[in-house]
Amino acid sequence: MKKWLFLSLFFLLILGGTTQHWEKDLAAQELGNGTLPVIKEGEGKAVYEPVLPDITINVGKDFNEHPNYHHEVWHYKANVKGDDGREYGIQWTMYRISNGDYQGVGWKNAQIYIAQAVVSTEDQSWSQQRISRGGIGQAGVLMDPLRMWIDDWLWKSNNNFSMPSQLQVKADDFSIDLTSASYGPFVLNGDKGYKKTHDLLSTASYFFSAPFLKTKGVLMLNGKEVNVQGLAWLDKEWGNHLIASNTLRWDAFSIHLKDGRALALTQ
């Protein structure tokens, strides 16, 4: 089966009026005293939980969202083959970005969610994007059991772990319904899950992956149902590593090799 190569360019996500300047080094110093600066909504600079090395990552618990950090992303990608003999590439991504360091309720909630779904063949693609404000029930993440949603797009599990799980996406001209399960270990990327992206110590992220996933399910493309199965890959990353410059980005490449190994490169 021909393997699709996934090359993801993560550009700055800047929402009008939401660019934050946070003093993470100050926050890291305050951690030594057991306190963090308390800033009310709209006052001064946003201060998020610092991203520091030597933090233990729990790949079950940390699949949940981390609203005390500026942003995070769940990124799922799959190479599958259909019962029609065709190969399909599938990507689903959900972003959370904080509009401030306050934890309001309802419309005062600081979280914004963006989700993207793409299905591709060698000659055609289907895609759709959604955006929602947190706090009003339209989007969010819950545990016990795991449930992550935006409108009627849903990632769910029968337990608090990310696997096994089901992804359900309904768009105008396509839909995705996949069940995934792991057949190998999760991986802590970078330095035991800590990934530094700038000279500033705390401009960094926590990052783990599940590169060994098997998936199967049904795609609905232009009204035609296709049963598919293949391999998938899941990345989870959160932190404070957006940089206020449109000239900076990071590139990620991942692929399943024929001998059963998985390869990931990040620049």
Residue-level pLDDT at 248 = 62
CA nearest to 149, candidates 173, 115, 177: 115
Full domain range(s) for residue 175: 6-266
pLDDT digits (tens, 9 = 90+) for 86-134: 999 999 999 999 988 887 888 888 999 999 999 999 999 999 999 999 9
Three-state SS for the chain is CCCCCEEEEECCCCCCCCCCCCCHHHHHHHHCCCCCCCCCCCCCCCCCCCCCCCCCCCCCHHHCCCCCCCEEEEEEEEEEEECCCCEEEEEEEEEEEECCCCCCCHHHCCEEEEEEEEEECCCCEEEEEEEEECCCCCEEEECCCCEEEECCEEEECCCCCCCCEEEEEECCCEEEEEEEEECCCCEECCECCEEECCCCCCCEEEEEEEEEEEEEEEEEECCEEEEEEEEEEEEEEEECCCCCCCCCCEEEEEEECCCCCEEEEEC
Number of domains the chain contains: 1
Residue-level pLDDT at 7 = 38
Residues 52, 205: Cα–Cα separation, whole Å: 8
Residues 35, 47: Cα–Cα separation, whole Å: 12
Residues 94, 161: Cα–Cα separation, whole Å: 17
Assess if residue 1 is contained within a domain: no
Assess if residue 242 is contained within a domain: yes
Residue-level pLDDT at 251 = 79
Residue-level pLDDT at 167 = 96
Assess if residue 228 is contained within a domain: yes
Those residues of the chain that have pLDDT short of 70 are: 1-44, 201-202, 243-249
Residue-level pLDDT at 181 = 95
Residue-level pLDDT at 86 = 95
What's 127's domain CATH number? 2.40.370.10
Can you give the pTM of this predicted structure? 0.80
pLDDT digits (tens, 9 = 90+) for 6-22: 434 333 333 333 333 33
Amino acid at 72: E
Assess if residue 43 is contained within a domain: yes
Residue-level pLDDT at 29 = 35
Assess if residue 136 is contained within a domain: yes
Assess if residue 262 is contained within a domain: yes
